[in-house]
Amino acid sequence: MGARALAISDSYGGYRQRLVEQLQAKGIRDLAVLRAVSAVPRHLFVPDSVRHRAYEDSALPIASGQTISQPWVQARSLQELALTGREKVLEVGAGSGYQTALLSQLAFSVVAVERVPGLADAARTVIRDLGIRNVVIMVGDGTLGWRSLAPFDAIVVAAASPSVPEPLIEQLAEGGRMVIPVGDREEQTLIRVDKTAAGITQTPLSDVRFVPLLGELGWRDGG
């Protein structure tokens, strides 16, 4: 599947283009990823109070004390997944739904899991209004994956985990890839997990800072 038309007409196209150029300057080479960034209106996924900063390459606050990740980190994660447009992808931590929308442009279908119901509702509304139809957003604990819809050709985790949750490895298809930040609550390393017939390999990519993955196989307290 190629790029899908989004139901937008706005005056932010020039800003999006500048963000794309910044991402290119910082090493993002995957053309499909860059095309997705230029197609998805990030300003619709952030609160009004920070809308003027929507096309800066920075993380921004969203509701419920969460953050929409830095575009470079998201683009880097998506580039590592090397999606062709045929994959079924699991996203853990849908948050604002922005990365979910990027994934909708890069994969065949997207299952996104978010633990905060209010965030999931808001993300669903923006995604529906954009005319995106190959995405479902579930409310639940994504550290357990989403067993009834597994296996997934690719998995991307958008919150920091103390380790790679075993159900996510199980639910990754053979030949599949996962990108996940692993570390302590303050600092993590983004790693790529490859699952092959021969087993699992882990490749460190970059130092990152994400909000904590809270759940049965993530961080246990509510803090």
Binding site for ligand SAH (CB under 6 A): 66-69, 92-93, 95-96, 98-99, 113-116, 119, 141-143, 158-159, 211, 213-215, 218
DSSP E strand stretches across the chain = 60-61, 67-68, 88-92, 109-114, 135-139, 152-157, 172-183, 188-196, 199-208
CB of 153 closer than 8 Å to CB of 54? no
Q: Which residue is it, tokens 């961080």?
A: 219
Nearest residue (CB) to ligand SAH, 174 versus 207: 207
Nearest residue (CB) to ligand SAH, 17 versus 64: 64
The least distance separating ligand SAH from the CB of residue 197, rounded to whole angstroms, comes to: 29
Closest residue to ligand SAH, Cβ-based? 95
Q: DSSP secondary structure string, 135-148?
A: EEEEES-GGG--GG
Catalytic annotation, pick one of 11, 38, 64, 69: 69
The least distance separating ligand SAH from the CB of residue 215, rounded to whole angstroms, comes to: 3
**Is 163 among the catalytic positions?**
no
The least distance separating ligand SAH from the CB of residue 114, rounded to whole angstroms, comes to: 5
By C-alpha distance, which of 4, 7, 1 is closest to 127?
Answer: 7
The least distance separating ligand SAH from the CB of residue 170, rounded to whole angstroms, comes to: 16
**Distance separating alpha carbons of residues 38 and 50, to the nearest angstrom:** 19
CB of 185 closer than 8 Å to CB of 160? yes
Nearest residue (CB) to ligand SAH, 163 versus 196: 163
Nearest residue (CB) to ligand SAH, 32 versus 137: 137
**Distance separating alpha carbons of residues 100 and 44, to the nearest angstrom:** 13
Catalytic residue positions, numbered: 69
